[in-house]
Structure 1
Amino acid sequence: MSTQDILETLSGQLDEAQSGLSTLDSYYNGRQPAAFMQAKSRAALDGRLNALSVNFPRLLVSSVAERLRVTGFRPFGADAADESVWEAWQRSDLDTQAQLAHVDALTYGRSYVIVWVDAAGNPLVTVESAKQMITDHDPATGAVRAAVKRWEDGKEHYAVVYEPDKITRYKGKQNAMTVIDVIDNPLGEVPVVPIVNRSRLLDVYGSSEMNDILDLTDALNKVMVDAMVTSEYFARPRRWVTGLEIVEDEDGNPVNPFASEQDRVWQSENPETKFGQFDPARLDGYGDLSAVITQQIGAISGLPPHYLGLNGDQPPSADAIRSAEASLVSKAQAKQRVYGRAWARVADLIVKVRDGRNSVDFETVWASPETRTPGQVADAAVKLSTIGVPLESLLANPLGYTPAEIATIRSQKRAEALDMAGVDLSKFIVEDTAQ
């Protein structure tokens, strides 16, 4: 398939994906249209409330993403992380960008990472959105065969086609783009790594983590809108009158004799007239139904009850929190396994861009996704040290230090040991001179 064919094919797939991605985007931002908002409800509120969103989809994405923190890359079989790869990681601001890649992968089902070289010849890693980029995969192996990134700058449209042997840049109008540059690709492979939120074997483009709770979110929003309509429409007590003559206007329409806002007292000259008030509307049913739906969201998503506000006024204990977060922690660990291989591939490409070749396979080192206090972490580290676990391994896990921080700690520890050794040696020299 020619480069032009790749551009046209993948651009078509990218266009087809925009509608679904925009829908997921609206749910993540809490701006989705109300699924059950009726015209009568809008009329009761005078159009002041067109949508009400309880944004549990975003809570789910952020709760998982905040537990996915890369702390380094370690060659297979090695105890220490590779400091040079971590330097390239930090130089590309991936401490921040990797977090955004995880958020997009959880929201859209995928995000992308491009590894290339900057103007100074250093490896450059950028994170790309699924709204601007798409990949083509070998159906036999699943490997990336080609990729297209497309974006707009004012009235100009740009596109880049990534292939194993070359990178082609396009510019022009949307349907009339011309080649402006062709760059040889010495890597011999497409320098694009998909970060895919995969749940099935053949799910090469992933699926949104929010999918399972979107309908339940619409149902919860409907209940909350109904509660607001009831609260607003029946805010004032509904009263009734019997035995009062109905007055009509010129068109035969009944006239409310108590319509004036200044009439605080209702009165009638007819002794048979009776006044009364309907029972006020109760909102208990809405609260019970919203709690049921929220519990279903928690069961499906793995979000613990204290994330969803289901614990009431009683704060949970530390043990209860750890137990309630077990499902969320397991989900985060599963994401680390899925995303970890993709980030390790990024580390492979960083070394390949820097050295021209790479004979080392990396594994991704993650911070623990569990909620633990500093005291618990320190206690775990002390207990592991008593059975002979090396200091560097303890600093990485469970203490969670980055390779740069570990290098600083090791350097300071060596300096401290030298200072102590120096003091002892000086003492021995003085004593020997005195003798």
Structure 2
Amino acid sequence: MAVDAQEALRITRTLEARLDKRQAEIKVWNDFYGGEQHRLEFASDRFKAAFGGLFAGFSDNWCQVVCDAPAERMTPLGFRFGTDESGEPLAADKEAQRFWQANGMDAWGRVAMTEMMVKSRSFALTWAENPEDNETEPEITVEDATQCIVAYEPGNRRRRRAALKRFEDEDGRYLYSTLYLPDQVWKWQRRQLTSGLILPSSMALGGWEPRGGGKLDQVVIPNPLGRVPMVELVNRQRLVDDPTPEHKQVMPLQRAVNKLVVDMLVAAEAGAFPARWGAGIDLPKDPVTGQEIDDPEMWRLSVSKMLRASSPQARFGNFQAADLRNFVVGIEMLIEHIAAQSRTPPGYMTGKLVNVNAEAMQESEVGLIAKTKDKITFVGESLEEMIRLCFLVKDDKKRGNDPLVETIWSSVEYRSDAQVVDAVLKKKSLGVPWRQLMEDLGYTPSQITRMEAMLEQDANRAARALAFDGVGDLGPVAPAAGNPALDPAVA
């Protein structure tokens, strides 16, 4: 349903207010991930007196590990669309793969996963230079949580009502915003002072004015897709509460780790080296004044110096050095708590994997694998809507409205090649189709399609070779290369 300019401005201001409300939290989460927000917040006065600003940028950062561990395992490989007219399951859609590859989503998709872990949300915008032209190609861009927001219909978290993207130009003189509605797109701009204040001339429109200085009715363009073209990728989806970043629950523990580390540095500076003492020592006297000379350099020992005393009652000794292992035990305990609460494998946190067998490794990763599988279930729904929008750009309403589209994911488990091949051979004995076996081996849809063509070429080449040798009955043709156990003709 189309809206007029005043209603579009009202929606823009409403979404902008919600977006502004999120900024402070997102900055804290992002700073923790980068190791900036939590640095030395618990540093004591003794630490500051001992080191000053020497360790101002110090951070023993575990938040980054917690966020990166699941993100690096979330790799979309392609999309498939239900079944064909005969009811047979379809292979990965080649055109969907072309959209994905043409927009560099192999790389930007990873960025989207990481941003989602760090900031609780990331966004994917699907549009085109000329969306009314069916020959145009869809453009997919990954958007940041500080710039975008999506609003949903009341009572329905799946139906997008509107979306807003707000961004700044290079010199900071203008803010731009784009409001996406199901059937309209409105474009605004806002002039800023260097302090970020809004100029009075644009206050009548809540700070926004038509982009390019045109009239209000000239900033709207039609949205032929019939849907809001921005989708939200959400971490830790909730029913009522807002999503949270992956490292939110371990942020207090991160502060405590830094506290113990800086305390250990203070102890190392003050008492980790054994202090020496001497008693009953006759100090040399000044020949003029007769006063004892207490020269600090006399007690500063090195490899080339030694202490000597003329008095037989002189004694020397060392104070016991501070034991830093108490700090280490506390730090390790906190890191173990971080690993347990975030379900991050201990191998990511300690790096002490020595003589660990494959079964023990898999056991330690059960928590990470389980939570990552939950995440790809929800993220996959958003990516499927994104790819449907790509087909709507091409005016392909069949695939653009297909509810059976499915995201193909790379395995979230890390296993050796021998383990993977052994599992695939066992699945083959149960009758699992060849293409599914290839997906289980980790090949992308493009690689599988290329392998099918190569197998056909090998079979034709073998047939020609047999015919050239004068063999009358060629019989069944086997591929000349590859693993016969995984041959689709045999499978």
Is the shorter-chain TM-score for this pair beyond 0.5, marking a shared fold?
yes
Matched residue of 1:355: which SS? Answer: coil
- Does residue 27 of structure 2 align to residue 22 of structure 1? yes
Aligned to 1:346, which of 365, 386, 394?
A: 386
Letter in 1 for 2:185: I
Provide the rounded CA distance (Å) in 2 between the counterparts of 1:113 and 1:131.
Answer: 13
**Amino acid aligned to 2:208:** M
Q: How does 1:346-385 map to 2 (within 5 A)?
A: 346-357=386-397, 358-361=400-403, 362-385=405-428
| C-alpha contact 1:381 1:399 (8 A) present in aligned 2 | yes
| 1:87 pairs with 2:98 | yes
What pairs with 1:316-335 in structure 2 (closer than 5 Å)? 316-335=356-375
1:146-167 C-alpha deviation (Å, 9 max, x unpaired): 1111111112221111111111
Deviates more, 1:422-431 or 1:85-94: 422-431
Alignment of structure 1 residues 383-402 onto 2, 5 Å? 383-396=426-439, 398-402=440-444
Cα distance in 2, alignment partners of residues 130 and 419 from structure 1: 54
Q: How does 1:128-277 map to 2 (within 5 A)?
A: 128-142=143-157, 143-153=159-169, 154=171, 155-174=173-192, 175=198, 176-180=207-211, 181-203=219-241, 205-240=242-277, 257-260=294-297, 263-264=300-301, 276-277=317-318
- Shift of residue 92, structure 1, vs aligned partner: 0.6
2:450 counterpart of 1:408: yes
User: Residue type matched to 1:220 in 2?
Assistant: V
Aligned pair in 2 of structure 1 residues 10, 242: CA closer, same or farther (>3 Å)? farther
Structure 1 residue 304, shift from structure 2 partner: 1.5
Change (3 A) 1:23 1:315: farther
Residue 178 of structure 1 aligns to which amino acid in structure 2? E
Instruction: Determine the C-alpha separation between the residues in 1 that align with 2:220 and 2:57.
Output: 49
Distance 2:189 2:391 in 1: 31
Distance 1:258 1:267, change over 3 A: farther
User: Number of residue pairs matched?
Assistant: 420
Task: State the alpha-carbon separation in 2 of the partners of residues 245 and 279 from structure 1.
Answer: 25
- The residue aligned with 2:325 is 284
The Cα of 1:425 is off from its aligned counterpart by: 4.3
> Secondary structure, in 3 states, of the residue corresponding to 2:331?
helix
Contact 1:42 1:50 in 2 (8 A): no
Give the superposition deviation at 1:429.
8.2
8 Å contact kept, 1:167–1:184 = yes
Q: 6, 12, 17: which one pairs with 1:12? A: 17
Aligned to 1:127: 142
What residue identity is the alignment partner of 1:66? E
| Structure 1 residues 209 and 261: alpha-carbon distance in aligned structure 2, compared to 1, 3 A threshold | farther
Unaligned runs of 5+ in 1: 247-254
Q: Which amino acid is the alignment partner of residue 136 of structure 1?
A: A
- The residue type equivalent to 1:376 in the other structure is Q
Which residue number in structure 2 is paired with residue 3 of structure 1? 8
What is the CA distance between 1:35 and its match in structure 2?
Answer: 2.5
TM-score (structure 2 length as normaliser): 0.79
Q: State how far apart, in whole Å, the 1-side matches of 2:426 and 2:293 are.
A: 81
Q: Name stretches of at least 5 consecutive residues in structure 2 with no aligned partner.
A: 84-88, 193-197, 199-206, 212-218, 284-291, 474-491
TM-score normalised to the size of structure 1? Answer: 0.89
CA RMSD after TM alignment: 2.6
Deviation at 1:309, TM superposition (A): 1.1
**Is 2:133 aligned against 1:115?**
no
Query: Percent identical across equivalent pairs?
Result: 30
